[in-house]
Structure 1
Amino acid sequence: MKKNILFFAALFLVLFSCKDREKEAEDTGTSGDQSNYQVASDKFSDLNDEALDRMSSLDFDSWGELLADNVEYYFPDGDAETRTILKGKKEVINWWKNWKESTGIDTMKFTDRVHIPIKANQKLNYSGLTGVIVISYFSNEMIYNGQPAQVRTNVAVHYTEDSLIDRFYTYYDRTPILNVVNANVLEIVVKKDSIK
């Protein structure tokens, strides 16, 4: 009799424990022991370095070779619903070429880079994407018409299965740039685009 009671008590604990894990998986959006996030390959850190090198060289055609046709580039000028977004490779590359021509940028250099490549197994909030995303932060040292502007920058870059960039989210304080250029860079380039 005692053995039966112990057996059913142990069975109850095992079943109860399994139910708790299932409930926890539902609450956290994971299945079983699989976390929503895992470390991704270092190759994506190398790809981010390559993208930053090409961007900082101001050769936007070369940088564009790393972009997917449906790339979206997000500026830090608003909240989720109000920020400026460029859509499509052609629009992104043209915007940056116009930026180069319109702002008086002399040089741009990304230093003190840190890359954290992760893989999202479940859809992420805001983007709704899964797959590899690299979170990076670095210093952006720019010279506009001989005047320096230094901005600590954070980016989140999402990669397609073909290892091309299809999302580029930027987060930085634009104040140093606005002070040196003495204007809103986004407005300068938009006005130039609308004149063409």
Structure 2
Amino acid sequence: MKKSVLFLAALFLILFSCKDREKDQEDTVASEDQSNYEVASDRYSDLSDEALNRMESLDFDSWGEMLADNVEYYFPDGDADTRTILSGKQEVIDWWKNWKKNTGIDKMTFTDRVHIPVKANTKLNYSGLTGVIVISYFSNEMIYNGQPANVRTNVAVHYTKDSLIDRFYTYYDRTPILKVVNANVLDIVVKRDSVQEDTN
């Protein structure tokens, strides 16, 4: 059991230790009788699985019901200081609705899912958060205008005390998507949104 916890902690640190932050000693060091990390309840794995079910259905209003008002969604298009970040529940939902409308997505399917629920007892580098995080990895098959794009995806989701998602970190190779769509999906959504605002 102890080996499993250490493995999960190591995996978690790889995903989250993108940027060092100075902290007081009391924030970074657990007490002698408390581990920095422990296995969290499987209930959070079930929540993450439900979130993926709603997302792959392309029903982003339903998916949004699982998000906290102050949610932040992180794309894998840069480093800690340069990646694209959506802030706030409405911005996140609106972005994904525009993605659905503007990219030609026909279908999205998540398979071979694995969820690892971890509880952080001390503040983490980069996020500065404690509490429950679920690390998930799965295969994502997207169909854009009839053309498939297969991407192995890793996400790390943080939950509030009310079991809502307030951080959504994504890690995946965007190359297959760029080849099928023939453009940066982030640019398509942002540019078309700007054009629509200018014409209204």
Smaller-chain TM-score bracket: 0.7 to 0.9
Unaligned runs of 5+ in 2: 1-24
TM (normalized to structure 2)?
A: 0.84
Q: Say which structure, 1 or 2, has more relative contact order (CA 8 Å, 6+ apart).
A: 2
Larger Rg over CA atoms = 1
Q: Structure 1 residue 30: deviation in Å? A: 1.7
Question: CA–CA distance in 2 between the matches of 1:80 and 1:98?
Answer: 25
Aligned partner of residue 183 in structure 1, secondary structure: coil
Q: Alignment length, in residue pairs?
A: 171
Partner AA of 1:32 in structure 2: E
TM-score, normalising length: structure 1: 0.85
Identity rate, percent: 84
Structure 2: distance between partners of 1:141 and 1:29: 41
Distance 1:112 1:129 in 2: 28
| Corresponding residue for residue 29 of structure 1 | 29
Give 1:35's aligned amino acid.
Answer: S
Q: Shift of residue 140 of structure 1?
A: 0.3
CA distance in 1 between counterparts of 2:29 and 2:170 reads 26
Which ranges of 4 or more aligned residues in structure 1 deviate by more than 6 Å? none
CA RMSD of aligned residues (A): 1.2
Give the equivalent residue in structure 2 for 1:186. 186
* Residue in structure 2 matched with residue 102 of structure 1 by the alignment: 102
| Equivalent-residue separation in structure 2 for 1:173 and 1:94 (angstroms) | 23
Offset of residue 33 of structure 1:
2.1
Return the offset for 1:99.
Answer: 0.2
Deviation larger for 149-158 or 29-38: 29-38
Deviation by residue 1:65-114 (Cα, 9 ceiling, x = unmatched): 00000000000000000000000000000000000000000000000000
Residue matched to 1:67: 67
Q: Does 1:52 align with 2:90?
A: no
Counterpart position of 1:43: 43
Question: How many angstroms apart in 1 are the aligned matches of 2:174 and 2:44?
Answer: 27
1:3 is matched with none
Partner SS for 1:79: coil
Q: Which residue of 1 aligns with 2:87?
A: 87
Q: How does 1:128-143 map to 2 (within 5 A)?
A: 128-143=128-143
Shift of 1:60: 0.2
Equivalent residue of 1:58, what SS?
coil
State the alpha-carbon separation in 1 of the partners of residues 194 and 127 from structure 2.
29
Q: Which amino acid aligns with 1:55?
A: M
Structure 1 residue 192: Cα displacement = 1.6
- Partner SS for 2:107: strand
